[in-house]
């Protein structure tokens, strides 16, 4: 029997359902959300429904803040006390947040207690979640610390996230587009497509209607070839179940559905729906 007890730490931008985190022993360190001067701890102080209600009532975009290094340090020490032999921390893209820096500072602070390696997922929301879930399963099977680190780094190069925005309201609040442009796009029912590329959220095109946007996401999955760890992300969407059914003919495994939390939702807006997946690795020739 393996003596490796590698544990996985991540942050709340992973948007993994709590049942998945509990089942796989994943430790989630929360970011904080500030709305109109009030601070909330992600996943603890606000349900997604409460978050969207507060967003709708506010003229300002919520702000997110990375966890302090002390929060990561406390998580590492908890896992060490629980019998972990090492920790792999897989975090929100370093290009989007200072969260990874906090995780690295904390790793140095516990160097005399437990070895910690911090990996940049180059992802957010369930793109990060897919990598974390996969690595947690590998660790639970008794894999070595280096094997888990190598897997996380490999998956970071193969994981994709695509999303369809339903509203430009949050982009307007954030000053990323003007009000007139937002109004015109709304009148034309234009749905912007976003993708996470090289660790950053980039424009991925636009579709004329919600239906066409969802069809584009399905087509993107089909064109990706064989994939692993397919997940669906949604921001309070009434059509998420129907969307999952559109994807089923193209993927044989379990499709995990998760809520887009405040970290990503504050920019994407209510009604955003998307997919996260890992492109299958090519077998060695």
pLDDT tens digits, 88-133 = 999 999 998 999 999 999 999 999 999 999 999 999 999 999 999 9
The average pLDDT across 15-36 equals: 95
Residues 144-157 as b or e (16 or more Cβ within 10 Å = b): bbebbbebbbebbe
- In b/e form, how buried is each residue of 190-214, taking b as 16+ CB within 10 angstroms? bbbbbbbeebebeebebbeebeebb
For the chain, the straight-line distance linking the first and the last C-alpha, in angstroms and rounded, comes to: 32
Higher per-residue confidence, 7 vs 63? 7
pLDDT at 268 over 90: no
Q: Is 141 helix (H, G, I), strand (E, B) or coil?
A: coil
Mean pLDDT of 48-70: 89
CB 31 within 8 A of CB 42: yes
CATH architecture classification, 6-157: 3-Layer(aba) Sandwich (3.40)
What is residue 130's predicted lDDT score, i.e. its pLDDT?
A: 96
User: In this structure, what are the phi and psi dihedrals at residue 39, rounded to the nearest 5 degrees?
Assistant: -100, 140
Q: What is the mean pLDDT of residues 5-16?
A: 96
pLDDT at site 263: 84
pLDDT of residue 2: 60
Q: How many residues belong to the chain? A: 285
d(CA 199, CA 272): 19
159-279, what's its fold? Hypothetical Protein Tm841; Chain: A;domain 3 (3.30.1180)
Residue 173 scores a pLDDT above 60? no
Q: What is the pLDDT of residues 38-50, one digit of tens each?
A: 999 999 998 888 8
Average pLDDT over residues 258-267: 87
CA neighbor of 275 nearest in space, from 161, 176, 180: 161
Give me the residue spans of the domains in the chain.
6-157, 159-279
pLDDT at 151 over 60: yes
SS3 for 184-215 is HHHHCCCEEEEEEECCEEEEEEEECCHHHHHH
Please give the average per-residue pLDDT across 248-271, as a whole number. Answer: 91
């Amino acid at each position: 029997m393996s003596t490796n007890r590698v544990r996985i730490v991540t942050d709340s931008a992973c948007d993994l359902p709590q049942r998945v985190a509990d089942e796989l022993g994943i430790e989630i360190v929360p970011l904080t959300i500030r709305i109109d001067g009030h601070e909330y701890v992600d996943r603890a102080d606000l349900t997604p429904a409460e978050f969207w209600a507060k967003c709708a009532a506010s003229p300002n975009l919520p702000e997110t803040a990375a966890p302090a290094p002390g929060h990561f340090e406390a998580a590492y020490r908890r896992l060490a006390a629980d019998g972990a032999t090492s920790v792999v921390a897989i975090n929100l893209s370093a290009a989007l947040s200072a969260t990874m820096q906090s995780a690295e500072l904390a790793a140095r602070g516990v160097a005399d207690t437990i070895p910690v390696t911090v990996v940049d997922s180059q992802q957010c929301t369930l793109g990060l979640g897919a990598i974390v879930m996969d690595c947690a399963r590998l660790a639970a099977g008794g894999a070595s610390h280096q094997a888990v680190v190598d897997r996380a780094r490999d998956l970071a190069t193969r994981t994709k996230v695509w999303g369809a925005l339903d509203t430009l309201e949050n982009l307007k609040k954030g000053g990323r587009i003007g009000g007139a442009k937002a109004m015109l796009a709304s009148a034309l029912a234009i749905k912007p497509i976003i993708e996470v590329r090289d660790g950053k959220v980039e424009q991925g095109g636009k579709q004329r209607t919600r239906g066409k946007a969802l069809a584009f996401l399905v087509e993107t999955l089909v064109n990706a070839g064989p994939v692993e760890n397919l997940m669906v992300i949604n921001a309070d969407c009434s059509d998420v179940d129907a969307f999952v059914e559109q994807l089923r003919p193209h993927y044989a495994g379990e499709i995990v559905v998760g809520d887009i939390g405040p970290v990503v939702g504050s920019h994407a807006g209510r009604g955003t729906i998307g997919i996260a997946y890992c492109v299958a690795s090519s077998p060695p020739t």
